[in-house]
Amino acid sequence: MERRVTSRRDALRAGAAVVAGLAFLRLDRLVDAAPLQPGEEVVPWLDRPAEVPPPAQSIIGQQLVWEELDAWITPTDKFFTIAHFGPPTIDMASWNLDVTGLVKQSMTLTLDQIKARPRQEVTFTIECSGNTGLPFFWGGIGNATWAGTPLAPLLQEAGVLDSGKEVVFYGTDVGKEKIRDLEISQPMARSMSVADAMNPQNLLCYEMNGAPLDAGHGAPLRLIAPGWYGVANVKWLDRIEVIDTRFAGHFMARDYVTIREETRDGKPVFTETLVGKALLKSAPARVVKGGGGYKITGAAWGGSVAKVEVSVDGGPWMEATIDEGMGSDFTWKFWSLPWPNATPGEHTVTSRATDTAGKVQPAPTDPSIATKKTYWESNGQITRKVSIA
Ligand SMILES: Nc1nc2c(c(=O)[nH]1)N[C@H]1C(S)=C(S)[C@@H](COP(=O)(O)O)O[C@H]1N2
Ligand SMILES: [Mo]
């Protein structure tokens, strides 16, 4: 790929030999996820996301615009936000984090105490499990470098008792819910098993992309749980409680529940499962027209992506080139495929990812997608429409 050799890269190569190792990796990434080269232009998709309806406008912010995807790290001010109950106002003078419940020693930590603990970073692509499941919600994904202190040592210090089974993470944002005649107010909360919570990747995060976490993304503190759908990454965190049973809060048991109508012995059976860990997925990002013809670029995420293929107009699958280099199983990978023989007229572009275990991103007709009655976990193959002049 000639295009990768830029004068910027050459300048860097000539310059900083000492930092070359890291710098080249980063630059490869930058170049591959490049802003448009001179003479290149984006061919906009014909299918457009719908307007976000008023009730959802206060919940969803800053959706990713796929045609503008040109940076592997999503800038914070362009990183989508979800706030089910609206962003809370937090009084930093009184804020602290409680670690409590079935632990030997409850703890209360100030932000300074949390920041004084060992610092760890992870680059992690967060996708909302509702992303691409609704006509107006196609941009609920972003990739950032998060920093904070690992959760596991803190839980170890508190000392989870043998009776402790589940770790519940509470936000400070409170919503009202009516259950039969009862109206309750409760903070956004999610839980995971003690084993999942102890994953050394999990962070109590106070920094995003090298800056203090901003209000929209959960300041002063949020959970970052790499490998999980967005909803598990509780923002505006102020309490962690260990309990001895499954937690059945709103976002565990009533919302973010995937319902499928399956068949058992010829009879319909509704299965209801909890949105949890991320699922394998890919999407075409944009079609670019350049001097040498067209190319299709996109992203793949939600596991250990080994292969991405593209089908034009439902034709044979063509293997795209994945941009290896930086990144991990927790981040999206960018891919591209030249489309030299694009003919004038309307076309469809579909992508599918395969992971290292050989699992393929399901087609919309696959039972895992086709039997789904709810819109969460919409990881089926995505088809976009484009018109070539
Ligand atoms: N406290 C709290 N945490 C929350 C939410 C919320 O509404 N309140 N939304 C969740 C959902 S559904 C998603 S997809 C992610 C989105 O993270 P982001 O806003 O930083 O993109 O935050 C999660 N954490
Ligand atoms: Mo979400």
Start-to-end CA distance of the chain, whole Å, equals: 26
Distance, in Å, from the CA atom of 309 to the CA atom of 298, rounded to the nearest integer, reads 10
CA distance 244 to 163: 6
Residue 84 in contact with ligand 1 by CB distance below 6 A: yes
Alpha-carbon distances, residue 363 vs 137, 351, 354 (angstroms): 19, 10, 12
For a pocket test of ligand 1, which of 235, 239, 256, 277 has the largest count of ligand atoms closer than 8 A to its C-beta? Answer: 235
Q: Global pTM?
A: 0.91
Q: Is the CB of 160 under 6 A from ligand 1?
A: no
The half-sphere exposure of 228 on its side-chain side, counting CA atoms within 13 A, is 23
Question: CA quadruple 351, 355, 356, 358: dihedral positive or negative?
Answer: negative
Query: Is the minimum distance from the CB of 137 to ligand 1 under 6 angstroms?
Result: no
* Residue 82 CA, closest ligand 1 atom number: 19
- CA 133/CA 230 separation, integer angstroms: 14
Give the Å distance between the CA of 235 and the centre of ligand 2. Answer: 11
Per-residue pLDDT of the chain (389 residues; tens, 9 = 90+): 333 333 333 333 333 333 333 434 444 444 345 578 888 999 999 999 999 999 999 999 999 999 999 999 999 999 999 999 999 999 999 999 999 999 999 999 999 999 999 999 999 999 999 999 999 999 999 999 999 999 999 999 999 999 999 999 999 999 999 999 999 999 999 999 999 999 999 999 999 999 999 999 999 999 999 999 999 999 999 999 999 999 999 999 999 999 999 999 999 999 999 999 999 999 999 999 998 899 999 999 999 999 999 999 999 999 999 987 778 999 999 999 999 999 999 999 999 999 999 999 999 999 999 999 999 999 999 999 999 99
* Alpha carbon distance 70, 77 (integer Å): 15
Atom of ligand 1 nearest to the CA of 217: 20
What burial letters (b/e) apply to 179-197, b meaning 16+ CB within 10 Å?
eeeeeeeebbbbbbebebb
Contact 331, 366 (CB under 8 A): no
For residues 353 and 359, what is the distance between their CA atoms, to the nearest angstrom? 8
Q: What tokens appear for 158 in the block?
A: 């508190």
